Structure 1
Amino acid sequence: MKAVYAANINPTDPLSALAVGERPEPQPRQFWSTVGVKAATVNHHDLWSLKGVGLPAEATPMILGTDAAGVLEEDVPAARGGLRAGSEVVLYTVVGADGSGVAPGERRSILSERYQGTMAERVQVPSANVFAKPANLDFAEAAALGTSWLTAYSLLFRAADVRPGDTVLVQGAGGGVSTAAIQLAHAAGLEVFVTSRSAGKRGRALELGADAVFESGARLPRKVDAVVESVGAATWAHSVRSVRPGGTIAVCGATSGDQPGAELTRVFFQDIRVQGNTMGSREDFARLLRFVEHADLHPAIDSTFHGLDAAPAAFARLLGGDVFGKVALTV
């Protein structure tokens, strides 16, 4: 089958390690299901894999992709979801979190780390990780839910533990997690502040539901209850200054680097909680899908590239950095 994969790793030129070509078909595996992929999105995790972060050279070639939506190729037993062959589905791609479909005690991983990823004509996942696609979404929109939207949901409602009426600051409008956090927070009744260096992105954040937008580093009109932080070094000090005493900074990434000034004095004097988060639980994913369908939310799609052969252009788009929402790849 055709797939997009890391042929090797290259820390300085990740796109040179990217390949599109034939890879082995998924083999039957007890308690796993095969899905014909219709769309996936490109995530920073894929770029990091090409650089060798979390993916050693000896694990290549490795099919990339950490999320997908598609069509189920065989029935799933009722005890593991009850979906039928031909159902339109979306995938939860964390494996080993609770042992479903893997050896007891296997460490948690995401598809494309230990098991082949989603950027292929077919992918195999534990049957418990297959969910019905929200009826209001197309395949590209649904694919965005598995990584960025699940992360944003868990950041807001687990890590930050915000409630309707709270105020949340989303640092750095434009990325998949930040645009998802804006939409989810707005739909949940939160007041949403957003920062960006780009006037255009600040305007688009208002269209997604932000209540107020600010230049990066600007003083806010008041302290917020929580900060969604995915930028890292460039915004960390501002995040610490912007959260109220006793508030939470929920962290999921560091796209600008992971060596910020710690601001430890302010953190401990003001009882600020810093909570890390990577994606979310299977239960969070199920709640996210219901929320998206009930509220008729549609993930922001920056661009869609058609066919797996377009993967290098899709990856280059994300690597360039000037995106707003998700970069999607259809199969």
Structure 2
Amino acid sequence: MLAATAVSQSATDPLAGLVLGDVPPPERRPGWSTVRVVSSSLNMHDLWTLRGVGHPPERLPVVLGCDAAGYDEDGNEVLVHPVIADADAGMGDETLDPGRALLSEQHDGAFAELLSVPTRNLIPKPSWLSFDEAACLPVAWGTAYRMLFTQARITAGDRVLVQGVGGGVASAAIKLALAAGAVVYATSRSEEKRAEALAWGVRAAVPSGERLPERVDVVIETVGEATWSHSLKSLRPGGTVVIAGATSGTNPPADLGRIFYLQQRVLGSTGCTRSELVALLKLMDATGLRPVIDRTLPLTEIHQGFQLMLDGRLTGKLVIHPSGSQPSGAPR
């Protein structure tokens, strides 16, 4: 079967290690199910693997792709919860299992025609959600949901800053916070992306690093070094920064004096639980919320998709079709 596989890693030329070619189909194993993948989507995690960040080279080669929607062995439409873990080992939260693994870390991922995952990780795809939309949700939207509602516990009227409009998590966080009744601010270096955020309903979209009209209750941070100082300065006393990524670097100045003097809270967040992904679907059903899809590409053009991500030219998610054909599904 056709698959996109990471065979080597390079910090400066990550796409050199991405190979498109035939691989054996997954073997059947007890407690696992095979999914025929209709749609998948790109995530920064895929690029980190190719760069050698957080992924040891001895785990190569590995099929990339953390998100999937398709058909299970009985022909049911499903989406895949991407965290492979033992909820009991995480005290009821599989993201806290020390042995947890995101799809494509210890097991082959979703940039292939067939995917093998624990049966527990399959979630029925609602009929009102297309395959492309479903494939956008597990990593980016699940991460944003946990950041906002589990970690920050936002409520209607809260002021929320989302750093960096273009990324999948950031665009999801904006949409979800607005749906919850929050007042949302956003930042981006791109005037085009700031205009897009304004069209979604944010109160203001400012250039990265520019002062906000008011201090906020919550900052959603996935950029890291480049925006960290601005995040803390934008936060009210007693406010909360939730961080789930650091695309610009992981070693920002700590600014400990500001944090302790203003009693600011800094919370880490990783992925989402299966129950949080189900709760996200319920929220989307109730509000009519849908993911932002920048474009779709066949698996044969995945190098082009990665280059668009590297160049920062995406707003929302890029969907990959492993079969190369446009899937059927619920209308948008």
- What is the TM-score when the length of structure 1 is the normalising length? 0.92
Q: Which stretch shifts more, 144-153 or 133-142?
A: 133-142
Coordinate RMSD, CA, aligned? 1.6
Following superposition, the deviation at residue 99 of structure 1 comes to: 6.1
Partner letter of residue 11 of structure 1? A
- Aligned position for 1:323: 314
- 1:268 pairs with 2:257: no
What SS does the corresponding residue of 1:234 show, helix, strand or coil? Answer: helix
1:115 corresponds to which residue? 107
- 1:129 CA drift (Å): 0.9
Match of 1:314 among 305, 313, 327: 305
Matched with 1:289 is 281
| Residue in structure 1 matched with residue 329 of structure 2 by the alignment | none
| Secondary structure in 2 matching 1:161 | coil
* Equivalent-residue separation in structure 2 for 1:125 and 1:106 (angstroms): 19
Shift of the alpha carbon at 1:322?
1.9
Residues 300-311 of structure 1 correspond to what in structure 2 (within 5 A)?
A: 300-306=292-298, 308-311=299-302
- What is the deviation of 1:280? 1.1
The separation in 1 between residues aligned to 2:126 and 2:193, in whole angstroms, is 27
Please state how far the C-alpha of 1:106 moved relative to its aligned partner: 7.1
**What does 1:116-155 correspond to in 2, within 5 Å?**
116-155=108-147
Following superposition, which runs of at least 4 residues in structure 1 exceed 4 angstroms of deviation?
Answer: none
Note if contact 1:134-1:292 (Cα within 8 Å) is conserved in structure 2: no
The secondary structure found in structure 1 opposite 2:296 is strand
Instruction: Give yes or no for contact 2:166–2:312 (8 Å, CA) kept in 1.
Output: no
- Which residue is 1:65 aligned to? 65
Shift of 1:261: 1.5
The residue number in structure 1 matching 2:85 is 96
Give the count of matched residue pairs: 316
Whole-Å Cα distance in 2 between the matches of residues 54 and 43 of structure 1? 14
Scaled by the length of structure 2, what TM-score is found? 0.92
Does the Cα contact within 8 Å between 1:135 and 1:293 map onto a contact in 2? no
Structure 2 distance, partners of 1:56, 1:225, is: 37
Q: 1: CA distance between counterparts of 2:240 and 2:43?
A: 25
Q: Deviations over 1:132-175 (max 9, x none)?
A: 12323221211110100001001101121111111100111111
CA gap 1:106/1:269 in 2 versus in 1, 3 angstroms: closer
Structure 1 contact 99–106 (Cα < 8 Å) conserved: no
Contact 1:317 1:327 in 2 (8 A): no
Aligned equivalent of 2:185, options 188, 193, 208: 193
The 1-side partners of 2:280 and 2:133 are apart by 13
Query: Post-superposition shift, 1:313?
Result: 1.0
Residue segments in structure 2 that go unaligned for 5+ positions in a row: 323-332
- Per-residue CA deviations over 1:247-283 (Å, capped at 9, x if unaligned) read 1000011111112121111000011000011111111
Aligned twin of 1:233 = 225
Q: 1:22 to 1:99 in 2, by over 3 A?
A: farther
Percent of aligned pairs with the same amino acid: 46
1:249 counterpart SS class:
strand
